[in-house]
Structure formats: C-alpha cells, structure tokens
Structure 1
C-alpha cells in the first residue's frame, strides 16, 4: 500500500532512481540524427514511458512505432502491420535490434522517420506534429470519445509520412497524441516539444555492468559454449526454451535483465545477433556462440518474462542434463522439420530431465504461452476458457517419462504443424493437426492400457506436488477476451474446466505457441497454430477426466461442449471419454471435481493458500481486511450486472488511514463451448458470467480503472449490482469510473505503475493501454 499521490517531478525522480539512467549503446553511426549526451533525455524518456510507450511497444505498436528505446525512435514508423491474419506469404521480419542495425537499413525495410531532420531545422518531425495536433484538438473532458475516433485493435491505420501529414491532419483532426486520452500536462508537453525541437537528442553512454555481474556473465557464457557434444545439445535446448526470457541474476539490481542470444561473435566481443526467424532455425555453417546481452528497452509488462539465473541455476542444469548417463554420437540438425518435433531432436537427452526443467519453472513457461507474440487478438486465445486451473502429471506417473520406449516409439506422432510447412498459401493446413493428433491418441491409449497404471488408475500421488517446495505445481490461467494472464495457486471459485498437463502436452504447447510460432508468418501458419492448440486443450482436459469417477466423465465433458456443432466437433476429432480407465481416488462427496481440486491445495505444505479469502472462503478463513470484506459481496457472483463489466478492471481504494490498495476485477465470461475459431458471441452464456476479485494487479492490459474511497465501497457494490442496462453501467462509470478523458486518468495510471514497482520490483512493467475502454450508450455488453 502507498500513501498519497506524487507530483510529476517526484514521479520522474522515482522512475530514474528505480530503473537507472536511461542509457544505450551507440548503434546508428550512419543515421543523420545526432546522438547527444544530454541528461534531459532521462526526463523525456520517463514521460515517453508513461504517456507513449503505454501504446507504442512490442509488435502491436500502432504503425510499428516502438518507443521503448532510442533505437525505436530512430527506426521510426511503418505502414505495414505485423499482425495480419490474411496474408498469403510470410512477411519480412522487422524485429528491433535483430533484423536491421542502422537507420538506412530500416529505411530500406519501409520505415520512415518520425523525428525532425537537423538539416531542416524549420521542419518539425512527426512526433512534434502529432503532439501539436493533440494540443489543438483535445478530447472532451471526462466524456465519451467522438464516434469518429476508433479504438479497435484491428482498425485501419494510415501511418502518414512527413509529406503526408498535412492531408492526414485534415482528414483525421482528432488523431493527435496521446491518442484518445486526456491531454498531456503542460510541463510534459513542453518537455517533449523542447526535446523534439532541439533535434530529439538521444543519450548514448554505454551501460556499465558491475564486476560481480560481469563475472557471472563470463561463467555462464563459458558454460553454455562448452565444446562437449552433450553440453552443446543442452545449450541448444535451453536456448530454444529461454530465448524470450528476461534473465535476472539472483541478488542483482531489480531492474537489470539480460537475454540469451545466438551471436556470430565469441565471448569478450560485441554481440552480433544471428537473425533467424525461429530459435531452432539453422544458425549457419560458421561457428556461433550463446551470449548474454543486456536488455536496454523500457520494461513492458506484456512481454516481461522473468527467469532467475545464478550459481544455483547452473548447478541445477548440471544435475538435470550433465550428471545423468547418456551418450550422443552426433548433434541433430536444425530447421523446421527438427524444430517441429523436439521429441526427436532431443531424444538422447533424458526425458525426465527435460520434463523436470519445465516443471521447475512451470509458471514462466505458461506465461510464455501468454506473453509471447502469439497471443494477440480474440482468435489467438478463444481456444481457452476464461478461467481454469492447471496441474501437472507427476514424472513417475507419466508414461512418457517412466517408459523409456514411449517417446522413442511415439515421436513420429508428435510432429507439430511447423514441421510440414510448405510454400503454398495454405501449406499443411488441411487435416494436419487432426491427423497427427488422432494417431498419437491411439498410440497413447494403447500404451497406457498395457501399463500397470491401467489397473489402478491415477490417484493424488499422480499429480506433481512441487516436491514440497515449488509453488509452480498449481496454476490459475485467466483469459481476458483477447489476452490472458497466469499466477501460481488456485484462485477464484471452482472453475468449469481444469487441465492436467503431462510432458508431451507441455512441450508441444511450448513449441506450438512459442518456439515454433512466427508472428510474421502467413495465414496457414496462424491457423495451424490455433487449431493444434485446440487439440492440446482437449488432451489436457481428457487427462483431467482420468482422475474423475468413471460415471461422471461423460456428463462433465458434455457440459464443456454444449451444442450440436460442439458435439460434432468432438466426434470429428475422435474425442471419446474413456469410461474404462479406472480412477485411483475414492471420492467422499457428490462433487468430485471440487473435492479433487481442493484436495490438491492441501498437499502443498503451505505453498499455496488452501482458500481464496475473497472469492472462496469458509467461516474463519475469510479475509479480515476491510476492503476485501466489502468486496466479497461482489466476488464469485452471477447476475445481469456482471456482463456489463470490462474483462479486466483495476480498482483503486483510498483507505481512511491514508494508504491505497489495488484490486483487480476479472470478468470470467462463460461459454457453452470454446470449440471453434470464429463467432464467439454465438457460444457465449452471459447469464453464467462471474467476477473474480484479486488483491493486487494481474494482467497486462487493463480495460478500465475504478477509483473509490474506502467509505464508498458499499455504494460502489450497490451501484454495480444494480446494473440492468447500459445506461445503469454508464451511471456507475460516471460516479466511480475513470474515463480515458478524465483529468485523473494519467495521475491514476502513474500511481498504479508506481505501486506495481514497489510491490513487485522485478516482475513489474509498463501496462499496455491500447485496450482501455471508452464506455458508450450503444455498447453491446456481451
């Protein structure tokens, strides 16, 4: 909790002290923009992070204008969108810091400048002109945005060049920056304009790394670049799983991170990244090296995947991959075919070690499925329910681990779609995921029927318990319409569905959604990725059903796939509920799903709370916090009012004692099924929607802020529960909500970010506000 609000100057000082001086290596010697060592850049960078990066970051930055680093400012903008679900050929990758290194190279890839040309001092740059346009045409204060101003993520973007801006500003007079929000404060506007008019100088002093950290980097690079063939295969396995990670050294400064890259240069030299599309692509015939490169961009939460490293981690890798007895005659090849089947590529490495590697940091890998580039837009995540609980098959119960011949004989059936990609527009799309998955399920079922476990069934010991020390064993996943989030433990009320992942499922999800996914790929790749994930979801649900009593499995499965089309879908996918596989659990209640899941919580020796103090608690176990007690009136509730709430809302509560609390209101949308790619609205069941309320912040894309005093909580509850129409919801917004155009919008946004940094200094990052809602009278609540 935090006392009071901070003025802008204090916010700037805090940001600089927490994150360090914003400095970057000189990189664009050929650029026409001079790079000046100007300390004012730190203040300008702070403003940009809080007002610009909140929309201009990652692959979904409008016009690919990524403002998270000086490199992004110099690269500029493009008319080509990264997310394009209809393209028939693969696009040229445009990854900042990878696919081009100089301004001329970016210009050759279609990017245009957004800063002023120092040789034409009287001509303002695009950034300056967008800011001026926003100043000239501000949004109406604390009111809905004009209808002409679109917020949809897939809205057509014009992305004008400097020569086109005059006409653009006439056609789109309301498109100034910051887009569709309250205006900048005078001090912020003047700081940015002064910086822009002075040539947009960018600080370029090399970042210093403490000697003790540099020593660890040297040790890690030596470890990862050993000439021993087993070590080389281990390093490849680690790289293909950690290439998106923000590596953080144990005990190091909370805002210093590194990335594992492949470089043409050896340790001790400047990093020269090999620009492959995927981590398993061939690095070339010449020698290459695994290097740790410092991350210098603004930390944006939606791509911030923290992975801890240090001496303990290196010792763990030795224990998992180098201490066991295994031999390797030759290293496997690179390429789509090999990357599309990690089970054959890494066959020689002990399967138990590979599975345990995933389990050790299961939350990191689940989050990589979510925060990787695949999860953009509704189609990417409508393969999952809005909230479900995940557990993992214990290695000793997983036949792919316990039986050495399982993966050897079954690897041919575990090919992923990328392994059969071809040059055609639809490539391997027709029937690939269905054909391979059916073959694998037939193989898996036959092997389990011949195994001793088929006589006894899975019991509680068949679920990994974290070995008594690891909280990653139980995870809650939330879907927020077109994005998702995850956290350890089981949160909210008993969910409709639950997943149990074994090693083949876990590894295939990683290679489908992360290692094998190409955000610049054509439509065939996008669809096969989504369809294959559909198969993996069903397989995870089926594994969960093996723990249920045989006589409830079929009905439970039907409740997940309601509707004639959904029943046909499961039939076509050869999904049949196995009523013969026994369960090893003797259930004592008439609610086996609830009994099973809650019993898993009791096995953690305190790793997780056995109850949810707001959403699911029994007498004597509920929260004693005043705000949480009040909010229990809303939690785990159904009703007409729920469907009007945004997918993800942040509630800021100002307590009577001067402190501030943050809560997240998650709208759990109910579905009759999640079996199809399109027309989700037809499969919605809004009458069964619920709200899960969590202390703190989850998610990366808040849809709305509510701001109340502690003594207003009762009224806030009443206002929400009284909603029966869109006009009722708008009345609640007027009293308790913070619109995009509210004078408090940026102040509250800053406060939330500051508290996030205080509470989770390593995990925190800037939130993306592209999805922040603008409630209007004609909105459809479903």
Structure 2
C-alpha cells in the first residue's frame, strides 16, 4: 500500500463513528498488539509505573496503584500484588487498592483515554533531545493520577501523556484505542493452551513431581523451590513462544489450576496441593524471562540423579522459619551430590535467578557486585561438603540464612547472629581444606558450557551470559555448593520483593559475605605470594575496615597446585583458562580478548570484521585515557547495517570501577571514574537498553574515530546527532523492537520485549 493510500485509510477509519469502529475491534488481535508495540516496554513486571501492567488483559483490567513494589525504605512488608496470583478479576483488585484505567465515569473518559489524548496532543519535536523539566530516571516519583485527580494532572503536566516522553502512537493506533475504550474496553483474550505434544510432556512432569512417599515428596519440594521462578519450555516438540511455570495448585492434574498464593515458594501452602505446570500468559518480557529447558532426556536424568541411590527419608520437614532459613538441614536427606549436580547442569539459569531476578533491581541491590566478573564452579568431586560427611555434619548448622525475621527492632541482632555463624563456618572450612589435597585444574568444574559465566552490572540492574566475555576482570568468583545454594536461597527462594527494609538489608548484607567467600575461594587457586596483593586491590581504602570487621582471614598457608607466576598470576590464570576450557567457552571474545592483532570474529563477513577491528580500539582502555567513556551510559546498543540489508547488534557495556564494593551505602565515595572501561560484544547483553546508535558497517571507522576525539559533552552530542536514536526519533519503535527481532532470530527461546524505562535523553 502506498503512503498516500495508507494515510487515506487511516483518516477514513478515524472518521467512522466510534461505535462502528469498536464493533470490529478485538482485544487479542487489535489492542494487545498496540500495548505490546508501544506500552509493554515500560508497563510490565514489578517496576511498571503505578503497577499498571499492560502485558496481558488481566493487567489492563486490574488498573493502577500508587504503591511502588520496589521500595527500599518501607518499615512494614507490603501485601503482594502479583498478577494472576494474588487476586483475580477487577473487583478483587479494587479491594486491594487498584483503580480502573479503562472505565469512564459519566461523561468523563477513561483514564487511559485521557492519558493517550495528552500524549497525542503534545508530540515530541522529531529527533530533538527531550526538553528539560521531565524526569526520565528510573527512580522518578510516579504521580499515578486517579479518576478524581486526572483533571489537575492534565493541567499541571501537559507533557506527561502516554507513551511517556517517547515517539507516540500512530494515528491508527490512537483511533483504535479510543474506539475500544469508548465501547467499554471489551476483552476477548483467550488463554494460551499447550499443544497436544506439550500436554503429554506436562503430564509426564506432573506425574513425576506428584509421586507419593517421603523421598519423592522431599525431592519434589526441593525441585519446586529451585524452579518456581523459571520459564519452562519443552526443547523437544514444544511450540515456540510457549512457556510454563511450576506452581502449587489445590487441584490435581486434569483439573483447572487453582494456584496457592503463598508469599514465598518455601512457605506453608496451608492446604493439600499438587505441583502443576501452568501456561504463562501475556507478553514475554526479557527482564523476567529466565528460561529452563525440559525434555524427556532431562526427566530421565533427574530421575537417575535423585533416585538411583538407596538413600531414605522417613519424614518431610515442615515449613517453619527454621526450615526455610537452612535448606541444608531441611533437605539433608537428599544426597548433596545430587543437589549440587542439578544446579551445575544449568548453572546459567541459577546465576540468572539472582543476577537478573526480582532481587536485582536498584543501585542498593546491585552495588554488592563488581561491574564485571567471571564465575567458575568447584568440581563436585573436590567439594568437601559433598565428599566429607564429617565436615558436612559440622558445617550444616552454620549455613542458615537471615532475612526471614523482619522485625525492625531485631535487625541488628539478626544480622550479627548470622554473620557470626557464617564466619564460624569459614573457619571450619579453612581448616578442612588445609587438610585436603592442593587445588589443581581438576578442581574447576568443566561438565558443560555452563561452567564459564560472565556477569555484568549496569548500575541498577545486572545480567549474566555463558562464556568468558570482556577483558580479564578485576575479580573472579569460584563457587562451591554451599556458596551457590546459599546465594540461591538468600536472593531467590527467601527473597520477598514486597518485604520491608529489615528483610532487604539483611539479604543484601549476607550476599556481601557470599561474594567475599567466592572471591577468597578463587584466591586458593593463586600462588600464596599473589593472594595478599590481589585481595588488597579488591578491598582498597574502607574495604580494609570491612575485611577486619566482617570477613574471614585469607588462607596464606595452603599452596596451589596450579603452575602460575607470583607476579601476574590472575592474568596467567585467565590465559590458561581460555586455552584449557576453549571447547566449553560458549562465547569466544576476540574483540575484548584480542590475540595476534586480529580483534574480530573469523566467521562473519569482511565488513563486520572491519567494524569489530575498529570497535576493539575502544575496549580495555581506562576512561582516563579515553574520555568518551565518561559520556557512555551503562548499556548502549550498536546497530550495524550491511549493504545487503542485514544487520548485526552489539552491546557496549560501561564497567564502572570502585575501590571496593563492601558497603551498602556510599557507593559514590568509592567510585574510581578514571578506571572505567568499555566491553563491546555482539548480541543483546542487557534487558535495559540505555541508548542506541545506528550506523553503516562502512562508517564504523568514522564512528570510532569520532568517539576517540570526544573530550567534552559537546563533542559527544555531535556523535549522537549523527548516529544516535533519540526517544523522539520518528522511527524509534522500529529500532527499539529490532533488538527484540534480533533476539528472536539469534536466540529464540531467550527473546522477549526489552525494557525502555532506562533509555536516556542523550
């Protein structure tokens, strides 16, 4: 259709009476696609402004609420408001304080209509920077107008219409939404149903999880507590885009699911229940899309893993605070080898749950980790918690986790009690390992491509990917089973996103100890003479005070079995790791780990090789010598177009440097901006793009040269003017959703709508 014909069609549609327009409007075919195109990028999940979730009809009908989910200052836990779980239907949500955005009142149009009217009547200046006066930060105070306050809001905030501070709805989208709202916002949404092949596999897994007997019940409970956050999919005969979550239901297989809405996955359900695989409804968004594959081979492996031995369980523990605080005691009957191996088999999933899950949102939540580090795992054959029953028996009572008692008056006592238990465990562990053989390369697990992971923090969010990505990081984690399991229970199973400041502070402080434990475990691989200097580098200035106050002393006695030099030991280790584990490295990285001058992937076309060679000039250089780094946001996307119409996407991550990450507050005091660096890697490495550049492959050299010349803001502004995709770009949504399209093409199981709440106004 020509542009003129398309315009005429839109005008004709808009001139139709609203009732006539709405008569043919389908929510599922017409309305949800508009929400998905222009609204879900902001309005989804817990950080949706005013809790307005437009990823499904249930969210649109639920409406808005002024209480934020992410609140690090509340002194009392908040009532959960999880979509599809904590209430059902508009009336139930009204009783929980939500108000409608779809219903009009008398002659007053619906809130959504008023907000899109406001946005449509105040379009942005194309390609211009958003004018001062609009707070675009993720931590902005959302005003959340109600039907009673909408008139005042419109008068006082003329530029706050929807979509907020970004290129808006097309005329046709606007007219369709207005017509639908005028008709009363009818919904015809049909829930996703599994295919016949999926239904058979659902039955197999539900039958397995609902076996009776103490052993079987205990294993199913452990599996549920480790998979409740997963978006499960069937890698054999599964329908693309179909995902499931395991829930506890009051109804058995074959009947409609009636989920138990417990606050945490390991809380008492209060009723008889069955484990069920519930189809996930609504639009998949990348930030919550933590996938886990199921198959017949996986089911057979799990059966073998947990039930091949002759271990016994005479009873199933309860759900009291003691059992929830210490999963090592609760599930002690299940062989520790089986538990750890299950987690190692899909280690990326488990690290994702606490690096990208609900716990990891907000600067105070993420400043416990470095901006980039690698994660390795201790081989089960050399993990003393698994192999030494005497050590395991002594260690288990010391591995309990804080945070379940959130009384504000007990916060300090709770923290010091659990910190002291942890340090007592570390002393016990130190002695045990001093009596074990020295660590060698065989101690580092290499079972599959989950063995090597890269973690990146983007200030108030974080991400993890398989493979060794980026330059050699400042720190490396080496996790054993007690470290991995405690991290999971502390940050996932026991974490309550609706909890109060006491719960959140205890969780954050204990994770600080976990990080330190993983770092110090890695130092066991280093020569004795190298350990002190490395630790001093990681814990500079105030970090030394934290070492004295809260951390266990470093092991300076046990030598390493790795042949590494005392000077440059970590870099030598990284070099050998890249060589020895090359077959398991899911994402080789010649751009950031350049060898022999060829800083590009050999398997891509020559124009992309030339572009990657140019990009490599920007990586592994400190901001003190490359001033443009000061201008870069946390996660920037580069869209590189080829002559044949194809394109490649690269992510530019800004790695901020700190003297230490040992404290919950005062991060700016420990920031070392002159040491910031960039990582550039093909693919989408963040759920939260902060900005985007679009360039031809042949322009890569000019683009890099322009960045290298940047000294001040005005210089960077010129780069943005030439190649940047601003929020006001008329084609903004095409470019933004092309990132989603790229994910569907390259990693279809991982694809989901990205979040634009952090897209900056450059």
Decide: shared fold, TM above 0.5: yes
- Between 1:655-664 and 1:581-590, the stretch displaced more is 581-590
Find the partner of 1:633 among 614, 617, 626: 617
Q: Is residue 288 of structure 2 the alignment partner of residue 310 of structure 1?
A: no
Alignment of 1:331-730 (within 5 A): 331-422=316-407, 424=409, 426=411, 428-449=413-434, 451-453=435-437, 457-466=438-447, 470-563=448-541, 565-587=542-564, 590-604=567-581, 606-608=583-585, 611-619=588-596, 622-623=599-600, 624=602, 625-638=609-622, 639-730=626-717
Counterparts of 2:685 and 2:336 in 1: how far apart (Å)?
33
Q: Residues 254-311 of structure 1: CA distance to partner in whole angstroms, max 9, x if unpaired? A: 2001110001111111111111111110111x32100010001210000001101121
State the Cα RMSD in Å: 2.0
Alpha carbons 2:403, 2:502 under 8 Å: kept:
no
Shift of 1:586: 1.7
Matched, 1:182 2:167: yes
Question: In 1, Cα distance between the equivalents of 2:23 and 2:467?
Answer: 48
How far apart, in 2, do the equivalents of 1:430 and 1:495 lie? 30
Q: Measure, in 1, the Cα distance between the counterparts of 2:207 and 2:27.
A: 39
Which secondary structure does the structure 2 equivalent of 1:60 belong to? coil
Distance in 1, matches of 2:211 and 2:188, equals: 37
- Please point out which of 267, 275, 278 is paired with 2:264: 278
- Structure 2: which 5+ runs fail to align? 7-21, 603-608
Partner residue, 2:111: 126
Q: 2:57 aligns with which of 56, 66, 70?
A: 70
Contact 1:116-1:123 within 8 A present in 2 as well: no
Shift of 1:694: 0.5
**2:14 equivalent in structure 1:** none
Shift of the alpha carbon at 1:48?
0.7
| 1:388 CA drift (Å) | 0.4
Superposed, 1:120-159 pairs within 5 Å as 122-159=107-144
SS at match of 2:173: helix
Does 685-694 or 105-114 show the bigger shift?
685-694
Asked whether the 8 Å contact 1:271–1:291 carries over to 2, the reply is: yes
Measured in 2, the distance between the counterparts of 1:632 and 1:400 equals 43
Q: Distance in 1 between matches of 2:738 and 2:588?
A: 30
Question: Against the structure 1 CA distance between its residues 764 and 180, is the aligned structure 2 distance closer, same or farther, given a 3 Å change threshold?
Answer: same
Question: Quick one: distance in 2 between partners of 1:491 and 1:334?
Answer: 40
What is the CA-CA distance between 1:756 and the residue it aligns to? 1.8
Distance 1:414 1:123, change over 3 A: same
Question: How far apart in 1 are the matches of 2:147 and 2:224?
Answer: 41
| CA–CA separation in structure 2 for the residues paired with 1:85 and 1:207 | 35
Structure 1 residues 79 and 683: alpha-carbon distance in aligned structure 2, compared to 1, 3 A threshold: same
Relative distance call for 1:171 and 1:38 in structure 2 (3 A) is closer
Runs of 4+ in structure 1 deviating by more than 6 angstroms, as ranges, are: none
Q: CA deviation at 1:373?
A: 0.9
Secondary structure at 2:585 match in 1:
coil
Q: Is the 8 A contact 1:649 1:664 kept in 2?
A: yes
The 2-side partners of 1:736 and 1:621 are apart by 26
**Residues 632, 322 of structure 1: alpha-carbon distance in 2 compared, 3 angstrom cutoff:** same
TM-aligned CA deviation for residue 517 of structure 1: 0.2
Cα distance change, pair 167–610 in 1 and its aligned pair in 2 (3 A) = closer
Distance 1:589 1:423, change over 3 A: closer
The 1:521/1:37 distance shift into structure 2, 3 A limit, reads farther
Change (3 A) 1:87 1:324: same
Matched, 1:757 2:754: no
What residue in structure 1 maps to residue 151 of structure 2? 166
Task: Compute the displacement of 1:122 (Å).
Answer: 4.3
Q: Does the 8 Å contact 1:337/1:419 carry over to 2?
A: no
Q: What is the deviation of 1:325?
A: 1.7
- Alignment-derived partner of residue 723 in structure 2: 736
Q: Which whole-Å CA distance do the structure 1 matches of 2:340 and 2:413 have between them?
A: 29
CA distance in 1: counterparts of 2:65 and 2:233, whole angstroms: 33
Judge conservation of contact 1:627–1:710 (CA < 8 Å) in 2. Answer: yes
Taking the aligned partners of 1:169 and 1:187, their CA distance within structure 2 comes to 23
Alignment-derived partner of residue 259 in structure 1: 245
Contact 1:36 1:203 (C-alpha < 8 Å) held by counterparts: no
Distance in 2, matches of 1:281 and 1:399, equals 30
Residues 498, 544 of structure 1: 8 Å contact kept: yes
Unaligned stretches of 5+ residues in structure 1: 1-5, 10-34, 776-782
Which 10-residue stretch deviates more, 53-62 or 100-109?
100-109
Bigger mean CA offset, 611-620 vs 42-51: 611-620
Maintained 8 Å contact 1:465/1:603: no
Contact 1:182–1:743 (Cα < 8 Å) also in 2 = yes
Does residue 181 of structure 2 align to residue 196 of structure 1? yes
CA contact (8 A) 1:433 1:528 kept: no
TM-score by length of 1: 0.91
Residue 447 of structure 1 deviates from its aligned partner by: 2.2
Match of 2:217 in 1: 232
Q: Would you say the 8 A contact 2:430–2:555 is kept in 1?
A: no
Deviations 1:443-494, CA, capped at 9 Å, x for gaps: 2112223x332xxx1111110012xxx1000100011111111111111111
Deviation readout 1:499-553 (Å, 9 max, x if unpaired): 0000000000001110010001010001011100000000000000000000010
